Amino acid sequence: MNLKDKTALITGAGQGIGKACAEVFAQRGARLILLDKNRRTVSHVARELESQGADVTFRVIDLTHTQPLLKVIDELLAAFRIDILVNNAGFDRPGVTAKIDKSDYNAVLSIHLGVPFLLSKLLLPRMRANKWGRIINVSSIYGLMGAKGEVAYAAAKAGVLGLTKTLAREGGRDGVTINAVVPGMIRTPPIMRMPEKYRDPIIAESMLGRIGEPEEVARAVAFLASDDASYITGTDIKVSGGWGI
């Protein structure tokens, strides 16, 4: 599962699953481009990984702002051949259908579905021209099951699976694979801020009976990014401890 000589762009790399992806990819020899809106966290991750010998570039950007994103990607494409894209960045605006504001609904769709679409639109043609590429999208068990009070998030994460399959059809003949990971409940800052009364029943329902670690998702992402996964495309790996299957 070597990622040596590969350049990976990871969104939302400042903390949680994105940070774990950066760490695992660095261990496997990838050159890293980290994007996040939080300067403090993403610069800290970059410094840590650099001190361990990794080659890291980072940019501070709100990915939902299209014009600045286009500019950053243009600059990055002029400097790097980007082989791997990990669409991970996300946030949630909970709400049931009858109460959620349209603007909150759109904001959630924009980060989880709009940004992966735009980055894929920009990077997939280059990957196809290079005859090698990997896109890994981070979905969610809620995208499979639906979730009361999470209408925007569940709709967006279901959409991520449709996007994944469509991109896979577009990129396959040119050696580009596109897959998703579908995490269950993972120990990241937003999850640890949730009251236990919401977290515990989900953990209890999982087959493994415990919360997942960000590294456990990151290892599945790294596998899909590697040549070991060369004949896997248009599908997903559930990293949920058996919850929601």
Ligand X SMILES: NC(=O)c1ccc[n+]([C@@H]2O[C@H](COP(=O)([O-])OP(=O)(O)OC[C@H]3O[C@@H](n4cnc5c(N)ncnc54)[C@H](O)[C@@H]3O)[C@@H](O)[C@H]2O)c1
CB atoms within 10 A of CB 213: 15
Q: Residue 123 CB, nearest distance to ligand X (Å)?
A: 16
CB atoms within 10 A of CB 208: 12
For the chain, where are the E strands, in sequence order? Answer: 7-11, 31-36, 56-60, 84-87, 133-138, 176-183, 236-239
With binding defined as CB under 6 A, does residue 137 bind ligand X? no
Is 153 catalytic? The answer is yes
In angstroms, rounded to a whole number, what is the distance separating the alpha carbons of residues 103 and 164? 25
- What residues form DSSP beta bridges with 135? 85, 178
Nearer to ligand X, 60 or 232 (CB): 60
What are the CA-CA distances from residue 214 to residues 32, 86, 172 (Å)?
18, 14, 29
Q: Report how far apart the first and last C-alpha atoms of the chain are (Å, whole number).
A: 26
* Per-residue x/- track, 147-186, ligand X (CB under 6 A): ------------------------------------x-xx
Of residues 105, 153, 198, 231, which has the active-site annotation? 153
Tokens 């070991």 found at: 228
Which of 12, 114, 159, 241 touches ligand X by CB under 6 A?
12
Residues in region 97-116 near ligand X by CB under 6 A = 111
* Total residues interacting with ligand X, rule: CB under 6 A: 27
Residues in region 35-94 near ligand X by CB under 6 A = 36-38, 41, 62-64, 88-91
CA gyration radius, the chain: 17
Q: Residue 26 CB, nearest distance to ligand X (Å)?
A: 17
Using CB under 6 A as the criterion, which residues of the chain lie in contact with ligand X when the complex forms? Answer: 12, 14-18, 36-38, 41, 62-64, 88-91, 111, 138, 140, 183, 185-186, 188-191
Catalytic residue list: 153
